[in-house]
Structure 1
Amino acid sequence: MCFFKNGLLLVPTVVLSACGATLPQMISDKVLPLDTLVTSIGCEFRNAVWYEIDVKGYSWLSDWQGQYTVTLKGNETGGLKATSTIPATLAKGSSVAVGVGGGATTTANRTAVMKFNLDFADVKGPCQPEQLNEIHPFLQGKIGFGEWLNRAIEGALADDYIRSNPEKYVASIGHTFEFSLDLNANASPAFTIVPSPATLVTPTGTVDRLDDNIVDVSLAKPATKDTSKTVLKPEKVAEKKQKLAELNAAEKTAATDDRLLKTDPDLVKAQSLQTRIEALTAPGSRSDETSRAQIEAERNENRVALQRLVTVKEELRNAQASRGDSAIAIRQIESDPANYRVVRSKSATPPSENLNIQNTQLQLTLERLINNTRITGF
Structure 2
Amino acid sequence: MANSKEVVVSDSQLSPDFIQELLPSAERTALLYNLSFLCLGGFPQLERMIRDQALETQMLFGSSEAVLLKCAGTSSNLVTSLFPILIKAVEKNKPVLAVIYLEKARTWIEDIISAVGDMVTRYEKRAQSVKTCTSDVYQEQNQTEGKIKEHTVEMKALEDALDKLKVELKQNESEMEAIENKIKKNTEEQQDLIENNKYHQSFLWGLFSFDGHYDNDAIIAKQAEQTPLIAKKDSVRNKKWEINIKQTDFQLKLANCKIKQGEIPSPVHLKQAQKNLDQIRQILVDLNKFWEKVSALLGTLKDKTFAGDKLIEYLEDMKEEFLESIEEAKKCWNRFGAGCERAQGIFSVQSKTAYKFLEINPSSLSEAERNKQYESIMEKLKKINPQASAKAAIPT
In the superposition, the TM-score normalised over structure 2's length comes to 0.23
Comparing both structures, which one devotes a greater share of its residues to strand? 1
Larger CA Rg, structure 1 vs 2:
2
The higher-RCO structure (CA 8 Å, 6+ apart) is 2
